[in-house]
Structure 1
């Protein structure tokens, strides 16, 4: 930002704006309009954040509303057209017709008392955010959002009020596929965060959660206009009841959600298949608890899944040491058919011998899938005693 610093206090060479009683910029002089690229029509006004940082805007808004008669030597930060902040020294004088006039000229950071330690802390934080592998972002509202408004109006203004990106890191640019050499922070917020219905619902959830929300799903747009399913963690800065800043992190969860959907579809397909199988199928844990049963098992043995799930298999098997036999059958099945005969007690107290095929499933928790087939009545009579033992 190239701003001429006059050698004499020539009024027309200084940056001047006027702030009305509502805390909005109602006029700027020619120098400020030129240097800050501001076009302000008659009877038009701008939010203070269009020119000043949020902290400086808050301070000046208070002076305008209090009708401050005179103040000099005020440190303010001014937003340049290049999206940087320029430190300036300001003098505030009353103007009966328009509120207050703010007269400014640029000053180096050293004059404003920014010490080496503070500068070092800012540098460290900037480096940490810049080097982070997770996409970090910040949206600053040039028109702060009044949080006292109705919920729907707050949601609308978060999308419609003037805003800009600030301090977004390289990971953010990569996530949204911003071309090399193009600064993400100078792009319009709406280009990547459009006011779609799902995004409106997410912002409504954010408002209801007190402007602190994690794992919030949204559909954003990449630089090439393709859609991307993301998950956001939100935090907010609210000053004097106005939302001035949102920041957080963003993750692309499209591939994860696609994988979840594939697994869900696969599970539905397997459930359909198992429901159509005429033979009883059970799933048990390593310690013999029933984890699942297909409809055939419920129908043949007369017990619903709610009656058996979570209970030991041995409660429904007359054969002693049934779990050990199933484990041995599963182990043997790795080389051959893993089968054993067990006497099952049905809900009506009848007993029949069933041949169980056992297969072991490895994972975080070892489980066994059991497929049962009733032995013929003639063969079963001769083997019942053997199955019980």
Structure 2
């Protein structure tokens, strides 16, 4: 077939196409319009060819077209354009754009359009909404993910079997955003969606416990802890907020956000270490030591308290100092002095022992301040051996 015959065939297809097509020049001129579009607008093609865009396109549509001309692309996503008919009424059309090189006018824009029915408008709107949501999720600073199970989990199975399926059934990342890839230190240029879920959420005792929590909460969980693996080889604790899609008792997919708990975990370990150090120091002191809250609650004791007065720690912790003092007025005076920020030194303080005896001590106390508030440390040095109640009466 000759080149002229090809041109004639293309021209016939252009004119007979059951959709609206036009060709626009970057100068704002309509170069060509097919019969379908011209008829829709109430014109003959010759009436529009050579006219300006503004004769049929509304201002918002012309701005869209101008923006496309300014971008260095060959095609664009479908959009809705408004066209004006001969009688000035408006028609909305779903438009597809592609650029063609015209030997006379240079880079021109061909727009193929279909008049939008309500369903078509909804499809375009849904497509735009989806793009917006994708953009929001992808740009979020909060790591987010979605795991899909082509081989769904049978949630009616026993717990151990669900745990096995969770790790062994086929699964893949349906979505992971950029923040997720940064948290797991994925090599630059790679997509987490192309990697195996097992590389991050592998089977280990901590993650088995995580799945048990998911099962207890019907796979909708806030603050579920898991022990994950980064791509640089380091393991770390994370906290997951999880939601899921379950149909007919089968888990199809689950999604959520994740928070890095490694700093918090290290902080907890440091605090536990410091706590053990303080306990070791307190228990190494031969005199009884009590830690009090600002209102006189006993919040800590050392081993010498139980050894000297006979009271087990569980009987004293959470009680007021009044429970240990023989006379309430003396303990009230002690607290009033401490509240007034006056240090207490060598104050006589009688302690009621568990066996009914009374032990005279010399009390020394000072205050401390923490992020939980103010408190006091009370050191009781026995001044004599315990005196039994019968001896006091005699």
TM-score bracket, shorter-length normalisation: 0.5 to 0.7
Does 2:350 match 1:344?
yes
Residues 1:357 and 2:352 are matched in the alignment: no
2:211 and 2:384 map into 1 onto residues whose CA distance is: 64
The aligned residue for residue 54 of structure 2 is none
Q: Deviations over 1:19-62 (max 9, x none)?
A: xxxxxxxxxxxxxxxxxxxxxxxxxxxxxxxxxxxxxxxxxxxx
Aligned equivalents of 2:313 and 2:159: distance in 1? 45
Aligned residue pairs, count:
265
Which of 158, 172, 185 lines up with 2:166 in the alignment? 158
Indicate which of 105, 128, 152 corresponds to 2:136: 128
Aligned 1:12-23 pairs, distance under 5 A: none
**Equivalent residue number for residue 312 of structure 1:** 320
Deviates further, 146-155 or 246-255: 146-155
Quote how far apart the aligned CAs of 1:270 are.
2.1
**Matches of 2:328 and 2:203, distance apart in 1:** 65
Residue segments in structure 2 that go unaligned for 5+ positions in a row: 1-113, 386-394
Contact 2:146 2:254 in 1 (8 A): yes
> For residues 86-141 of structure 1, what are the alpha-carbon distances to aligned partners after superposition, in whole Å with 9 as ceiling and x for unaligned?
xxxxxxxxxxxxxxxxxxxxxx9x89734344334323432332233221100112
What CA deviation, in whole Å up to 9, does each residue of 1:215-254 have, x standing for no partner?
2222222123332222222221122333211111222212
- Retained in 1: the 8 A contact 2:326–2:358? no
Q: Structure 1's 236 and 298: CA in aligned 2 closer, same or farther, altered over 3 A?
A: same
Change (3 A) 1:140 1:358: same
Deviation at 1:176, TM superposition (A): 0.6
TM-score (norm 1): 0.59
Larger Rg: 2
Alignment of 1:168 onto 2:161 = no
- SS of residue matched to 2:378: strand
Aligned equivalents of 1:194, 1:304: Cα separation in 2: 45
Work out the CA distance in 2 between the residues paired with 1:353 and 1:149: 64
Q: Is 2:290 aligned against 1:294? A: no
Q: Does 1:262 align with 2:292?
A: no
Give the whole-Å Cα distance in 2 for the aligned partners of 1:323 and 1:339. Answer: 16
1:274 is matched with: 282
Structure 1: segments with no counterpart, 5+ residues:
1-107, 378-389
Cα RMSD for the two superposed structures: 3.0
Matched, 1:209 2:217: yes
Q: Distance in 2 between matches of 1:246 and 1:280?
A: 55
